[in-house]
Amino acid sequence: MRYELKDLRLFKAIVDARNLSAGAQALHMTASSASYRLKNLEYVVGSALFHRTSRGMVPTPAGQVLLKHTRNLLANVETMHGELTQFSANLKGSVRLLANSSSLNGFIIPSLARFLVSNTGINIDLKEKDSLSIPGLILSGDADIGIVAGETDSTYPDLHARLYAVDTLVCAAPIEHPVLAQNNVKLRQILLHDIVSLDRKSSNALFLERQTKTSGLTLNPRVHVQDFPSVLYLVEAGVGLAVVPYSVARPRAEAGRIKVVAIDEAWAVRHLYLLTHTNSPQENLIAQFSQILLNDPEVVTTRPAAVAPQA
């Protein structure tokens, strides 16, 4: 069972406003997206969280219990953030950060946005690279921190790997596409339809090409584009299907602009690892910034509850 901070914040906002639309507006969300998130939260809880009354939306008994714990949890998150800010505010210098496309678009960009707004002493040189290239660039001293799909400790003993996030590749589809008749799909079923892909040199496209060849299949995208927003725009327009991280597709899916289907392949579940060199020349700065990335609350919620970042 997994609870997302954004869902809990939305739940509390609805309680405070006694109205779904007003609660969504307080968090700069659309009402449709808020409704989707609330339904998912109720599914996780296993019970309705609100009564709809003439006085507005009132928490059910289950909602009252969730509200009590949500208030405590959010207060603790704010306290944690305040204490950690004391450390991050003292960071000075530059960090060279490499990330594969899944982590870059689904986690790193949002995480850096939250961090850099209130921390001005550190500069980040961020670049996208495929997971196979990143370890060598860290070992050669061309990067300080890397986020890759798949652990590399056994292959590169001079690298320190820690679980960063868990994401899932899904099949993004236009509304009413025939593939939506299935609960999950194999890669071979996806490739029967027109495909929208990232640029051929992107880490996402290279990964999908490798999986296609391994399966003895042929990948022939109808169009290649530069970034995930462009991919999803074309999917929404009905051009074709796309294999993308769920973290990237989720906002459009929640808004009802596209649909997603689970991919029934072992490689679809992506364990993302944060890599650093065991003998980094900027050990203190890199170690501290690594902890900031690992402890971002929105990222932490994707990891199994039993797994905590190691110092």
Confidence of residue 68 (pLDDT cuts 50, 70, 90): very high
Angstrom distance (rounded) from CA 283 to CA 304:
28
The count of structural domains within the chain is: 2
Within a domain: residue 90? Answer: no
* CA proximity to 289, closest of 142, 115, 78, 99: 115
Domain of residue 135 covers: 95-311
Tell me, yes or no, whether 258 and 119 share the same domain. Answer: yes
Percent of the chain with pLDDT over 70: 90
How confident is the model over 12-45, as pLDDT tens digits? 999 999 999 999 888 888 888 889 889 888 888 8
pTM above threshold 0.75? no
Tell me, yes or no, whether 114 and 247 share the same domain. Answer: yes
Within a domain: residue 311? Answer: yes
For residue 282, pLDDT over 70 is answered with no
Tell me, yes or no, whether 160 and 109 share the same domain. Answer: yes
Of residues 138 and 311, the one with the higher pLDDT is 138
Tell me, yes or no, whether 257 and 147 share the same domain. Answer: yes
Helices 5-17 and 31-45, packing angle to 10 deg: 110
Distances from the Cα of 291 to the Cαs of 56, 140, 163, 309, in angstroms? Answer: 42, 22, 12, 8
Confidence of residue 308 (pLDDT cuts 50, 70, 90): very low
DSSP one-letter string for 8-27 = HHHHHHHHHHTSHHHHHHHT
Residue where a domain stops, chosen among 62, 85, 108: 85
Tell me, yes or no, whether 214 and 121 share the same domain. Answer: yes
Q: Which helix (H) or strand (E) holds 196?
A: strand 196-198
Within a domain: residue 238? Answer: yes
How confident is the model over 180-239, as pLDDT tens digits? 999 899 999 999 999 999 988 888 888 899 999 998 998 889 999 988 999 999 999 999
Tell me, yes or no, whether 16 and 162 share the same domain. Answer: no
| DSSP summary character for residue 117 | T
User: Which segment of 112-121, 246-255, 269-278 scores lowest on mean pLDDT?
Assistant: 112-121
Angstrom distance (rounded) from CA 82 to CA 84:
6
Cβ-contact 172, 254 below 8 angstroms? no
Helices 228-237 and 246-254, packing angle to 10 deg: 40
Contacts of 17 (CB under 8 A, 6+ apart): 23, 26, 56
How confident is the model over 85-118, as pLDDT tens digits? 555 555 678 889 999 888 888 889 888 887 887 6
Q: What is the CA radius of gyration of the chain?
A: 21
Tell me, yes or no, whether 263 and 159 share the same domain. Answer: yes
SS3 at position 163? strand
Residue where a domain stops, chosen among 60, 85, 110: 85
Q: Can you give the CATH number for the domain in which 304 is found?
A: 3.40.190.290
pLDDT given at position 285:
82
Tell me, yes or no, whether 107 and 26 share the same domain. Answer: no
Q: Can you give the CATH number for the domain in which 32 is found?
A: 1.10.10.10
